Copies of this chain bind each other. A is one copy, B any other.
Amino acid sequence: MQMINAFEGASAAQSLPTDLKERIARRSRLLGPAYRLFYREPLHIVRGAGVWLYDVQGRKYLDAYNNVPVVGHCHQEVVAALTNQAAILNTHTRYVHDAVLNYAENLLQHFPQELSHVMFTCTGSEANDLGMRIAKHSTGGTGFVVSSFAYHGATEAVSALSPSLGYNLGPAPAHVRLVPPPDAYRGSSDVGQAFAAGVKAAVDDLAKHGHRVAGLLFDTVFSSDGILTHPIGMIDAAVDVVRAAGGLYMADEVQAGFARTGETFWGFQRHGRIPDIVSMGKPMGNGHPIAGLVMRPDIVAGFAKASRYFNTFGGNPVSSQVAQAVLTVIERDGLQAQVTQVGAYLVQRLKQLATRNECIGDVRGAGLYIGVDMVKDRQSKTPSPQIADAVVNGLRERGVLISACGAGANVLKIRPPLVFENKHVDILLDTLDETLASVAN
């Protein structure tokens, strides 16, 4: 399956600057054929600060894409936490250390009290992978239901739950069912009931084929599916369905978590049900590799009887201090409230822009996770991946970074660091306005 916004490789490289061409060839020689770069003309970034990235020529780019550096690129307090602890001690969780305990306690305070255990990994992939193992032990089931263009990670087990990567060897694996995500723009009028009906059919079909459902796993803003955030409560009926069948509600917060959605600290909190397992990752360490899993104690009891858990680097003192610094900055600087305010302004300006651009079919999202659905026309709502691609690359040429998502590759994905301000929204929107004018002509 083609990756959205990927550099197309050797054939596209002809027109690039010589030093970039050489580096791309070197990448290919060293890292092999499975790696992908972004953009028609890939970026050679050498420095980052706040919401800005700088390329090797010193040109600056407004970063409206990267959700990992959640408190801004190279945040001084996060770097200081990293530096200080790395110089003192970096071991692992088989010795007692207060940093992992203090962070665990502070992190769990952001969850409903029934979600009271946390386990640490290095990546979101590992977190979802561990979640799958725990769900299977807890339920005795083996089946999983995911949305039809889901992405949950890159291990063998979670790549099987990531149809957006493509099932290139055939259909979805026998223990996996794909369901249409809750889509209020193109879907039925009762989005929640339609989603629940899809989950019900999937759970029944899994059972018919010998796979009792272990879990319904979804990204709580359905980012790879095209950023689907409304109406509030749209996932509740589906959660009830999977629970009635003995499966767990597994919320993937790798994309939506850590105040990204503004209204709430976690994406799942925008809806009505409390998950059984919550995975998190990307922004947790502002780029430092730390991720984790939060769950109810009864969920992990079966797994712990059958297996112990150890991750050499997961929850080490350095990672814990870095993650604590990120959490402290989010809290102390009131980033959740800022996200709500700036996100609302971003949506308002996008909707204004939509009044003058027929190719904008829909503006949706929560906080600073915003999707702009590019269409051929508003009547048919036919996705326009061409316009989306032209806009993404047009913005990049003009010094603003976003990408696209969705099964139709047509939804602009706007997902900046949470320290984004109204003045950055203005730069983004003015540049988008200019780009759209150029694309339309």
Question: Could you list which residues of chain A lie within 8 angstroms of chain B, going by C-beta atoms?
Answer: 3, 6, 20, 23-24, 26-27, 29-38, 42-48, 53, 66, 68-69, 73-74, 76, 78-79, 82-83, 86-98, 100-101, 104-105, 108, 116-120, 122-126, 129-130, 132-133, 137, 154-157, 159, 165-166, 168-169, 281-282, 286-290, 295, 297, 300-301, 303-316, 318-319
Please determine whether B126 and A287 come into contact, CB atoms closer than 8 angstroms.
no
Counting from the closest, the 5 A-B pairs by CB-CB distance are A168-B306, A156-B157, A32-B117, A33-B304, A34-B309
Closest to A78 in B: B86
Chain B residues with CB below 8 A from A45, complex form: 89, 91, 95-97
Query: In the docked arrangement, what's the CA distance between A91 and B74, Å?
Result: 10
Main secondary structure of the interface of A (DSSP, over half): mixed
Chain B residues with CB below 8 A from A156, complex form: 129, 132-133, 155-157
What is the minimal beta-carbon distance from A128 to any residue of chain B, in angstroms? 10
Chain B residues with CB below 8 A from A32, complex form: 117-119, 295, 297, 300, 304
Contact partner, A90, options B69, B166, B307, Cβ 8 Å = B69
What is the minimal beta-carbon distance from A115 to any residue of chain B, in angstroms? 11
Please determine whether B307 and A165 come into contact, CB atoms closer than 8 angstroms.
yes
Query: In the docked arrangement, what's the CA distance between A257 and B287, Å?
Result: 26
Q: Which of A38, A133, A303, A312 has the most CB of B within 10 A?
A: A312
Q: Which of A23, A69, A82, A156 has the most CB of B within 10 A?
A: A156
Query: In the docked arrangement, what's the CA distance between A26 and B99, Å?
Result: 12
Closest to A3 in B: B308
A and B contact pairs by CB, cutoff 8 A, 15 listed: A27-B101, A31-B117, A31-B119, A32-B118, A34-B119, A35-B309, A36-B94, A45-B96, A122-B313, A123-B311, A126-B155, A137-B169, A155-B157, A168-B307, A289-B313
Please determine whether A313 and B287 come into contact, CB atoms closer than 8 angstroms.
yes
Chain B residues with CB below 8 A from A82, complex form: 82-83, 86
Query: In the docked arrangement, what's the CA distance between A314 and B291, Å?
Result: 13
Please determine whether B118 and A133 come into contact, CB atoms closer than 8 angstroms.
no
Query: In the docked arrangement, what's the CA distance between A220 and B200, Å?
Result: 48
Query: In the docked arrangement, what's the CA distance between A309 and B95, Å?
Result: 34
